[in-house]
Each structure stands twice: as structure tokens, then as C-alpha cells.
Structure 1
Amino acid sequence: METYVFDGTLEGLLTAVFDSYKKKSTNVKLVSEQHFHPDVFQQHFTVISEDEKAKRVWAGLRKKLGKEWLLNVYKTFLSEQPDAFQHLLVFACYIIDNPQGAEENYGHPSVLAVSQWERKVHREKHRMEAFIRFQKTSDEIFYSHIEPDFNVLPLLITHFRNRYADQKWIIYDLKRKYGLFYDLEKVEEIVFDFSEEMSPRLNALPAQLLNEKEELYTILWKDYFKNVNIPARKNMKLHIRHVPKRYWKYLSEKQP
């Protein structure tokens, strides 16, 4: 088995597929730089990302796959999981080497794995859309920070741009250290350099950054949830199934 090390980008992964054909490698273990541990007894091949190679592989997949499956490939990549990267390489080669319709063969381990990873990432995207809570900053921007299991920020753009089209907003991924900023016209990727004293807690921004009325809004929101809650109908088992505890840190109504 040959070990291919790539830079963790989608372009790099697609380039690895191209290189595996060029080198006529039949058994490849694909590893991102982040997860690679050098072994002095085993050689490895470093994949250099090239847009032209990546485009050729993507074009080959487009000839065989519909839009839904191409999106499945992208979502699986956003999982950032080593196992998912390996299955994507095998899946891409399997699709390219076989007639159209090969993606319907769920008996193939990588076809099944891609469909499973896609569902996990889609579920995380859906929950972020439901559980994100914005805070209004002193400069009139609605801000939220998150720490999802998967890199779902690119999948949130359409939902929040459509839902909050008349408001400037920022959604920042603390785990991956980048965010999205909507300026009423377009969405751009941004990076913050938080100083230690300004680094936000996961469920709130520092008070000095907030709009003067934000604390009042938070209190009113908590009171609303307290008043609509019916203790006699409380079912924590069902509640946790729909709102897992790991998402409570995003919800102001769950904070003391």
C-alpha cells in the first residue's frame, strides 16, 4: 500500500485521485498532513495540490454523477474525518472506472460510507441552523460563534443570507478559526485574531462588545421560555433527543 499525504483541501484530495491514476497506484492510503505520522520504515508520496488536475477529476465525476451526489461528495469532505477522506478517494476512483449508476451500489463500502458521512454532516448543518443564537454588537452587527463537529460553515451561507437578508451578521467557527461575514450584499470569509482578554466564551461575547440593550433582550428571551414551559408536560428524554446536550452551550435560554 502506498501512502499519499495531501494538504487537507478538496483540491488536494482531487489531485491525489489524479496522481493515483498517473502513478498507476492500485492501493492507496490517503492521509491529510494534519493526521500524518511519518514512519522511517515506510515511504510516502506528498501530493502537491494543482487546480488543473483537480478540475479534471471533478469534471470526470460530473459526467457520472448528478448534482445531489456531487453535493454528497462535498459534504463528506467537510466532515474532515480521516476515514471519510480515504473513502472519498476510493469512491472517486470507483465512479470514474465504472458506468453511470455505480453510485447506487450501496454494497460497495465507499458508496455506503459517503452516503453515511453526508447524512451526518447534513444533520449537523440542520442543527446549526436551528440552534445558532445571535447577539447584537455595539456596531450593529449580529454575531454568533459556534464549534460544530464538522466544518459546516460553507453549508450555512444560503440559509442565513436568505433569512437575515436585511441584517449584517457574522457566524464564527471558534474550532476552525474562521467565519462568515454578511455585509447586506455578499458573504465573505473572515479571520479574527482574538486577544486573550477579548476571546469570547462559547455562549456569549464579552459585555464590552455588546449592544447596550442586548442584556435586556437575553433576559426577555429567557423569561419567555420560562413562561411557556409547562412543568407537567416536561419530558427530558424527548427533549434531549431533539436538542442534544452538546448544543445547549449555544442557547441563551439554557444559560443560568
Structure 2
Amino acid sequence: MEESADHWEYDGSFLGFMTIVDRSFREKKFPTLILSPETAVENLFLAEWIETDVLRGKKIYRRLRQRLRSENFQFIQNGFYATLEGKERYLLEAIEIALQTKDLLENHLGHPAILALAKSIRTLLGENHALTGFVRFEYVGDVLFSKIHPKHYVMPYLCPHFAERYPQEKIMIYDETHELLGIIDQGDIHLMENTSCPEFSDSGDEQDIRQQWKTFLRAVTIDERANYRAQRNHLPLRFRGDMTEFKA
């Protein structure tokens, strides 16, 4: 593949990125810069807009699944959802390596693109694992609702976890960082992008339960044995703002 001085911009979707992959490999060139809605505002140069071709994107998706090792395809997919500046350019290089070598991408950590993606994927999956334990739900009518502020795009991983854990429930999880609403209805998952957080008022029952829980904690806590450093290690401060037991 040849390096080009091109700057491309796309809509930030996964099928949009598959459209980028299709054009890049058809033209046998890697653009210098690939911009998404999050990064385009920082760019001072004009970029060519690459319109998402849904049919072509799905075709490339299927072709990559067929040609890549399952571990490498998962690596590419995880890398796309991780938060990493310039990830699209790194992912193009990762796809080229995976197609040429047929080897595990994680065996190529000496390559800067693979190393950067691997580090970001670890933090993505680590954050998702933490959230499976730290997400708190409140009943709003017959719906379990939670609001979170993740650093990474974890909803495609988090929603299946709770869909399996609560197969008979109606669940809504709002990712305020990425303006993404996950709706789970008895195991069926739908993600709505670029949406605002639903407005709910606290029910009296939830307020009573929250107050009873705090009363219980105060009763069993021995202040002299409190170890706040250990508490922060097990429950980082950044998760507490979304946890019902820390709300007033």
C-alpha cells in the first residue's frame, strides 16, 4: 500500500469505516489523515468527505470476517470502538498486516499501530468489565434505567451483558459521553446515536430504598477502620457519580 497526502472524513460509524477500508484497498493507498465527527473540528485543512455506502460496507464486513482469523477480526472491531486518536489509520495498517501474514495481530506488538491499538483495547475491555459491576439501575415505571459516563465506546459490549443477565426486563442505559442510548427489551438490543438523555423524576419508592440503604451503611460502618485509599482502589471516584448509593 502506498502513502498518500489525502485527508478523508467520514461519519464515524462502523459501516462508514468499512467504506473507508473498501476505498483504501481498492485504490491501494493509505490517506495521511482520517477524520471523524470527534476529530474533524480540530483539523485546519479541507478533507474529502467519504459517504457511507451501507451495502458496500456490509459486503466488506462479511469479506473481512471470511478472510481474517476470528481473533484478528475481533481485534479490528475492538480497536474501532476504543478511544484512540488516529485509530482509523492504525486499523488500516492492522488489516493489511492481518491479510498479509495470517498471523495473530497481537504477535506484532513491535509495530507502532498494533501496539497503540492493543493498549487502547485493554483499557476499553477493562472499563467495560468495571462497569458490569458498577452500573446501577433504578426503576422508572417498569423500566430499569441507568446513566453512565464511560471514556470508551462500551455500549456494544455492556448491553449484551445486561441483556443476558436480565432477560425478562426492559432496560435503558444512557451513555452521556457519546450521546448514545441503549434499549434492551427482553434480550433485544437497540442502540440510538446522537440522542439526549431521557428525563425521569425520582420515584418515591426509589428514594425510600436509597435512604434505607444509606441508613444501613452508616449503622454497620466503623469509622476508625475506614480505609479510603483502599476504597478508591476498588471503586474509582469517576464511577461514583452514576451510582445511586452516592447520590443525595
Fold shared, TM-score > 0.5 on shorter chain: yes
Which amino acid is the alignment partner of residue 85 of structure 2? P
Q: TM-score normalised to the size of structure 1?
A: 0.82
In the superposition, relative to structure 1, how do residues 100 and 68 fare at CA in structure 2: closer, same or farther (>3 Å)? closer
Report the aligned-residue RMSD.
2.5
Match of 2:33 in 1: 29
Using structure 2 for the length normalisation, give the TM-score. 0.84
Establish whether residue 136 from structure 1 lines up as the match of residue 136 from structure 2: no
Alignment map for 1:103-142 (pairs within 5 Å): 103=105, 104-137=107-140, 139-142=141-144
From 12, 15, 36, the equivalent of 2:19 is 15
Conserved 8 A contact 2:7-2:34 = yes
Give a deviation string over 1:104-159, Cα, whole Å, max 9, x none: 2111111112211111111111122111111111x221111112111211111221
1:124 alignment partner AA: E
Equivalent-residue separation in structure 2 for 1:102 and 1:108 (angstroms)? 13
Q: 1:147 aligns with which of 146, 149, 163?
A: 149
* Structure 2 equivalent of residue 174 of structure 1: 176
Give 3-state SS (helix, strand or coil) of 1:187's partner.
strand
Output the CA distance in 2 between the equivalents of 1:252 and 1:38. 40
Mark the runs of 5 or more structure 2 residues left unpaired by the alignment.
none
Alpha-carbon distance change, 213 to 80 in structure 1, aligned in 2, over 3 angstroms: same
The percentage of counterpart residues that share the same residue type is 22
**Separation of aligned partners in 2, 1:126 and 1:251:** 16
Q: Secondary structure of 1:166's partner?
A: coil
Instruction: Render the CA deviation track for 1:50-85: whole Å, top value 9, x for unaligned.
Output: 234434443453345433332232222122433322
1:247 Cα deviation after fit: 0.9
Q: 1:159 to 1:226 in 2, by over 3 A?
A: farther
Q: Which of these residues, 202, 206, 215, is aligned with residue 201 of structure 2?
A: 206
Which letter does structure 2 place at the counterpart of 1:19? R
Q: Which amino acid aligns with 1:172?
A: Y
Is 1:157 the counterpart of 2:159? The answer is yes
2:64 to 51, 61, 65: 61
For 1:230 and 1:83, the matched residues in 2 are separated by 49
- Letter in structure 1 aligned against 2:143: I
| Deviation >4 Å, runs of 4+ | 190-194
Paired residues of 2:182 and 2:191 also in contact (CA < 8 A):
yes
Maintained 8 Å contact 2:79/2:121: yes
Contact kept in structure 2, 1:73 and 1:118, CA below 8 Å: no
* Equivalent-residue separation in structure 1 for 2:233 and 2:48 (angstroms): 44
